[in-house]
Structure 1
């Protein structure tokens, strides 16, 4: 099974691109969504996050996102510690998921694919890019957050230039029509490599 990593900075439109691959019949694994599910379902992850962040990490069995986000925002070392708990379990979950798929290749969408070394487990990598101000505009609408918080998140991610250097394909997600054409072209190129 060929594994294609899909990444890009926050607000670049990874999910939009992922949905277009899905529409072409390619199975897509959204690592962030699966991580969220595991943070609610896995007793081991819950226990370790409570050890890391304290009893307020979960309220009524639900992950206390704002509490955890505030701690991470003030001390980024907690993000690394949290990722060390979650990422290995997501990786195992992805391996099991991949075994159930019937397709020439699968897409694994991961926001911090390069930052966590996940690109090494991929046969090919697609990086989604978009102009910085467009990304900020999208995020302000989507997340109802502040520019300062977005800048803090962006600082923790690699630059587009660094990602592009290590990518096999780049999709510029500025307009939907153009993005769709690029996805079809990349899909056709990957299919050729699957033969």
Structure 2
């Protein structure tokens, strides 16, 4: 039996680091953001479709994400067109990963897991969380966005309280050691479920 574990959480809550802990523990990890990067890269499956709709967003044979952000800022309708192109390709990438993976536990790192209904494909969901103050300081420390941009992204995401309420497991990412211990407990619980299935 293969167990599908969704991993989610809001921006800056430590999801990527936690995904790395699952990978280190022997799980196969699929990363939604990395899948989009592959699709947008030179030769990626999304490039030709994006070129047809947004020719000025293609630079040196790949999709320019900054240009897409500018286009979305000018016209909110652009986002739904991008999603209609990218979401089916991301789903295909996820299915390909699922078929090829050899681990007993597959972890799906998907920021908008609940928002897109992806939780229905999972056997369980783990949500990472940290307090709002730490979340904001982590994001701003990256130096890639303003407070306004951060708040805009957070506003689009389901409130963390709702994500926690709908999750089977919660991982508090206050320290790496604490997160690692929680990951180990989740894996022990999941492996027990697999053994008893």
TM-score, with structure 1 as normaliser: 0.92
- Structure 2: gaps (5+ residues): none
CA deviations on 1:3-57 (whole Å, 9 max, x unpaired) are 11101001111111001011111111111101110122335x22322344x2211
Distance 1:16 1:88, change over 3 A: same
CA deviations on 1:92-121 (whole Å, 9 max, x unpaired) are 121121222222210010111111111111
- What SS does the aligned partner of 2:114 have? coil
- What SS does the aligned partner of 1:10 have? coil
Tell me the equivalent position of 1:36: 37
Q: Residue 30 of structure 2 contacts residue 108 of structure 2 at CA under 8 Å; is this kept in 1?
A: yes
Q: Residue 47 of structure 2 contacts residue 62 of structure 2 at CA under 8 Å; is this kept in 1?
A: no
Tell me the equivalent position of 1:180: 180
Distance 1:66 1:167, change over 3 A: same
Tell me the equivalent position of 2:10: 9
Q: Is residue 2:111 matched to residue 1:125?
A: no
State the Cα RMSD in Å: 1.6
Q: Residue 73 of structure 1 contacts residue 152 of structure 1 at CA under 8 Å; is this kept in 2?
A: no
Tell me the equivalent position of 1:26: 27
Tell me the equivalent position of 2:51: 50
Distance 1:56 1:20, change over 3 A: same
183-192 or 65-74, which moves further after superposition?
65-74
Residue correspondences, number: 193
Query: Quick one: distance in 1 between partners of 2:191 and 2:76?
Result: 40
- Structure 1: gaps (5+ residues): none
CA deviations on 1:144-172 (whole Å, 9 max, x unpaired) are 32000111111111011111121111111
Compute the displacement of 1:143 (Å): 4.2
Runs (4 or more) in structure 1 with deviation over 3 Å come to: 73-77
Compute the displacement of 1:73 (Å): 3.6
Distance 1:192 1:162, change over 3 A: same
Query: Quick one: distance in 2 between partners of 1:151 and 1:77?
Result: 21
